[in-house]
Chains A and B, each alone.
Chain A
Amino acid sequence: MKTFLATFLVVIVGSLVLWVSTDEGRAFTAEEARRLEIRETPRSVPDWRLQNQDAETFRIQDWHGHFIVVDFIYTSCPDVCLILSGNLKTLQKDFSTEEKSDKLRFLSISFDPEKDTPQRLKEYLHHFSADLRYWMAARPINPSQKEAILDFFKVIVIPDEYGGYTHSAGYHIINPDGKLVAIFGIEQTDELHTYLNQVLEEKENVSKS
């Protein structure tokens, strides 16, 4: 009887722990967990000062009132960032109609600020033939700020075996109120597209009414 009770207790408590630590069985990896967390509890983005491709100071606050899609890159990246920003290029084309592109902004933040000078950021944007009115590349001003930004977005960057980096790849959506509201994976471009369409339309209706 004692054994039965003890086993019962262990199994119940254990299952509960597993249930809670996977967000009710919905997130098994850290990447899934951060996407889920943001969807359920959007967080206000601190007003960091970054340096953009024209060596000007840029504050996230400057784009208040717009939807911002943020991706994390380093300019010497041979693979993932090219796909990430390549998709942004497609998005920019898709949303290029005047009223939509004005509500949408793209921000590529470099996590390799030592190497990614404004000049290199500019080249990076040119590589994707970015429309510079709506798409900016920027780098953190100092290492502690870089850490703060990566921590906030829960982006993990690790050095790879070729002298580059492997990093969480996704699209981070900041809404017009300056809140991080959604994260899409690099494989979720269709969902991202649908999402942006939807929110931009909603915004249009709100501003009309």
Chain B
Amino acid sequence: MYPKAKQAWLLLAALVILALPPMQRFLEQSMVMHMLVQIPALAIIGWMIGKILPENWKNNIAPWNRWGITGIALAIIIMTYWMLPRVQDAAISEWPVELTKFITVPIMGMALGISWPQLNPIAQGVLKLEFWATFMRLGWLYLDLPDRLCANYLLSDQRVFGQLLLLAGSIWAVAWTLRITFGIKIINN
């Protein structure tokens, strides 16, 4: 493991690379890249920043975030916001919205990273099921919808996105089933 200071620089560098205009254009030219590469990458960076926050910061946050409830609420709201099709479009055409994305999505990752381990196991189970259901619902919707939701993306792109969501949801479901019934751990969660 790298020392914390070095990790912090690496994460910052990753954020800057994602924010470079050619990189932005590349990742935002298709819905699949935008939703399944850029946004998750930003969230993961946030998650990792959360891990290396100084201890005293974490101690200060803790009383406001018992059992991780505040953090999870924040993360869910930010997620919902970035699931609005018009916000995705606006991020492409308006720079303030793009900037908001580069700030709020890492915050979402950070909030999730800090709060998830503290969350009650039953709440974890409910949320996992709900996240999974969202993948399947949206996947189906995107596959089936005759109209485009985002003005900046092609219908074929939207369909591929739907397929990938269903695929990811299915893999998740299989991994889960294997774990529950046979105790086989494919993925950690």
A-to-B contact residues, CB < 8 Å: 2-3, 5-7, 10-11, 14-15, 17-18, 21-22, 27-33, 156, 158, 160-161, 166, 168
Cβ contact within 8 Å between A30 and B89? yes
Contact of B66 among A3, A31, A33 (CB under 8 A): A3
Number of interface residues of B (CB under 8 A): 29
Taking A2-B64, A3-B63, A14-B74 as contacts, is the C-beta distance between A21 and B154 under 8 angstroms? no
Cβ contact within 8 Å between A7 and B69? yes
Which parts of B65-108 form the interface with A (CB within 8 Å)?
65-67, 69-70, 73-74, 77-78, 80-81, 84-87, 89-90, 93
Cβ contact within 8 Å between A17 and B81? yes
Cβ contact within 8 Å between B63 and A28? no
Most central of A2, A3, A18, A28 by chain B CB within 10 Å? A3
Cβ contact within 8 Å between B84 and A28? yes
B153 sits at the interface (CB 8 A): yes
Cβ contact within 8 Å between A160 and B154? yes
Cβ contact within 8 Å between B149 and A29? yes
Q: A residues within 8 A CB of B90?
A: 30
Cβ contact within 8 Å between B151 and A31? yes
Q: A residues within 8 A CB of B120?
A: none
Cβ contact within 8 Å between A29 and B77? no
Q: A residues within 8 A CB of B73?
A: 7, 10-11, 14
Looking at chain A's contact residues, the main secondary structure is helix
**Would you mind naming 11 contact pairs between A and B with Cβ atoms under 8 Å apart?**
A3-B67, A3-B69, A10-B70, A10-B73, A21-B84, A22-B86, A28-B85, A30-B152, A156-B89, A156-B152, A158-B152
Cβ contact within 8 Å between A3 and B86? no
A8 to B46, CA, bound (A): 23
Taking A30-B90, A161-B154 as contacts, is the C-beta distance between A18 and B77 under 8 angstroms? yes
Cβ contact within 8 Å between B149 and A7? no
B41 sits at the interface (CB 8 A): no
Q: B residues within 8 A CB of A33?
A: 86
Cβ contact within 8 Å between B86 and A10? no
B27 sits at the interface (CB 8 A): no
Cβ contact within 8 Å between B151 and A30? yes
Q: How far is the CB of A83 from chain B (nearest CB, A)?
A: 13
When C-beta atoms are compared, the residue in chain A nearest to B65 turns out to be: A3
Cβ contact within 8 Å between A2 and B81? no
A17 to B78, CA, bound (A): 10
Cβ contact within 8 Å between A6 and B84? no
A21 to B100, CA, bound (A): 13
